[in-house]
Structure 1
């Protein structure tokens, strides 16, 4: 596909019914892309499609209710999307969840659930879309997080899943580019989203202090920078200047970034609850 344009290209977006997935879908619809949104909740998908059509009348927007952790269901949905719109030109793997808390208080199930969606969900969707992307010489776009490039207090399960996704994407770039498939990795820092709104109700003070060393961005700022990055064949897209500066520091002066994090955490530190309280 033309790396500089999504016009009349079919783009599949997982987690496309809200947040960044929906916002990116809207932006691409404005560029003339044909869309298929995938997520678990059929009602939210219908509302998202209607929202896109209202913003961009005449847009082609299909939906498939699917749980990306189900390998067979993912394959069936991807094949149906390809059949309905004449192939797949791009896949945006955006579906994901977040768990935050002290390591001692997170359960094994928390870690498994986050990994199942954030890593294996991407794996399933990518496997399902790969034959279609190979036919179209299309594009694979994985939405990870700055948490896939650096660590953060309280994000042991989330960072682990996003680091795994960054590693997977790095390997896929080497394997898929010779087939003509462009691979791109999107790593935003925290921004306004339904997931963050929910997190704010219960996040630890240490996590809040550490994560907010990079100011929370607006959804609009994230979308704007991502769309600019997608207009190129650049591999790594880190939206907003503050986040890019943090990533650069992590690579060139990691000790400075760690010390800045240590200072922020020390000011807010409360520590995990006593075992007898945590188990109640």
Structure 2
């Protein structure tokens, strides 16, 4: 069924920032295709959509972003059913607390598959349709995509890679009418955080060997930082605003805490200086 509303596809929408972005985007007037790896986990999204009065503007589809063929098929089906694609929000992600010597490279590859290649799969599939609509490509990265954080080596590597990829794509996509942005949340109270820490922490520390004391200190610090975490609704509202606002910035933080955290490394907070420079390379 085609629609006259802008059509937005959001990955990882079963909870947290993805869920809140889906509801906020629907409330702002978009038709939202909310994807998740397990559609049996759609109850929270559907309830939030009903409470917001936008249930008719949100549909749920299954998508495992690590499956490239599935990403292509999902995007093609959305365009076939609704006639257009105006926005893609790459939000699906997976955390990992550990360090290379203990975890090995296999765990790092798993994290990269979800956080980096998963976003590339959906972006590749969506780009022709975003070109046709003059659409928006928004990717949720992290403050961990700017500052490497202890015991988040694989996660930060994937988010650094995403930031670099999207920063390089920005001027190229702009030449064909597609806006590219990355969103950098700091601490957000979400199921993603609970999932990342869902492993048996005492067991993880016991396995950490010579890194056990440092891991314990890191986890103690992290628990304190998340005591004042931003709500997922606030972060989702920031993401959704990039789908409709005029001339969105390339780099956007979701809170003052996030801006303060990365400001020692990034003086160019909104990315305008870098993307302004590289835009000249393709003019």
TM bracket (short chain): 0.7 to 0.9
Gaps in structure 1 of 5+ consecutive residues: 1-6, 253-280
- Is 1:138–2:135 an aligned residue pair? yes
Show the counterpart of 1:208: 219
Where relative contact order (Cα < 8 A, 6+ residues apart) is larger, the structure is: 2
Show the counterpart of 1:242: 257
Residues matched between the structures, number:
246
Which of the numbers 183, 190, 204 marks the counterpart of 1:186? 183
CA contact (8 A) 2:9 2:89 kept: yes
Once the two structures are superposed, what CA deviation does each residue of 1:22-45 show, in whole Å capped at 9, x if it has no partner? 111011111111010111102123
- SS, match of residue 12 in structure 1: strand
TM-score, normalised on structure 2?
0.80
Q: How does 1:69-88 map to 2 (within 5 A)?
A: 69-88=66-85
Show the counterpart of 1:258: none
Q: How does 1:30-41 map to 2 (within 5 A)?
A: 30-41=27-38
- SS, match of residue 189 in structure 2: coil
Show the counterpart of 1:60: 57
Q: How does 1:260-279 map to 2 (within 5 A)?
A: none
Question: Quick one: distance in 1 between partners of 2:232 and 2:115?
Answer: 20
Once the two structures are superposed, what CA deviation does each residue of 1:179-218 show, in whole Å capped at 9, x if it has no partner? 0101010011121111212334438433335555685322
Q: CA deviation at 1:227?
A: 4.0
1:101–1:69: structure 2 CA closer, same or farther, 3 Å change rule?
Answer: same
Show the counterpart of 2:160: 163
Q: How does 1:3-22 map to 2 (within 5 A)?
A: 8-22=5-19
Q: CA deviation at 1:103?
A: 2.9
Once the two structures are superposed, what CA deviation does each residue of 1:39-72 show, in whole Å capped at 9, x if it has no partner? 1102123652454144224532222212111111
- Is 1:106–2:121 an aligned residue pair? no
- Is 1:222–2:219 an aligned residue pair? no
Gaps in structure 2 of 5+ consecutive residues: 205-214, 268-283
Once the two structures are superposed, what CA deviation does each residue of 1:63-119 show, in whole Å capped at 9, x if it has no partner? 221211111111011110111111100000000100112332223221011000101
